[in-house]
Structure 1
């Protein structure tokens, strides 16, 4: 979120709320995993969206409102949830299960998993994802905040 906002430029803005994006673990049939492994998988993924040092996810609707109010801009915020379709290509799938690039400070999905799961457990999870999602079109959910300046 860019906190420098021009008073005259803002009339209507749409901002993805990455913190509220689709969770991958919710796309799996977790009944195929034991309860403890399923809970640790969910905890690992939820940690991604609760990281207080990651500017992609460390803010929410109220943070937007406060930043704009501090800049002297009053806004009306409407939050919408959008279902869509997402094709899980081999490239996308590999991005989830590959270590992050050396030029980024953001851990990859599999790196978050490794904080909670052993290598054999990650292999099992990857296999389940592969059988369930790879080369398929899946239901995906996105959350967007619409901000309208109040004159």
Structure 2
């Protein structure tokens, strides 16, 4: 995973930040593959990395803990995968990533950046997930879902990593 070599001196962190890096990802897609390698590489470099499975305390309110972790991170790496938009938690994290100024480095894992930027395009693997979210007005307000779409568009305007892991 040489592409993920990052030294502590490259991270623009302030003294008030608890974490150097916050990783946002859809667990079933990448937790035991990419995220494991990335987490190891970053921690070996001496960085304090927030990954929900390692840092959430039992009994904590998940939403508040994630929001606090996003706010208390100097760099945020959303890892967009095929199933990222299926998770309202992931989309909420994406929106929270934009709320506080920090460095954002998107990582596109087996998904095209254009499909993430425009989730309602017919070619986007996110289209069906967004239509499901819109179809549940009892759970999510249209304004909130529109905010998620805006967050994806803005995050995709940042330079990041994109790699087709299918080998095609």
TM-score over 0.5 for the pair:
no
- Where is the helix percentage greater, Structure 1 or Structure 2? 2
Q: Which has the bigger relative contact order, CA under 8 A and spacing at least 6?
A: 1
Question: TM-score, normalized by length of structure 1?
Answer: 0.30
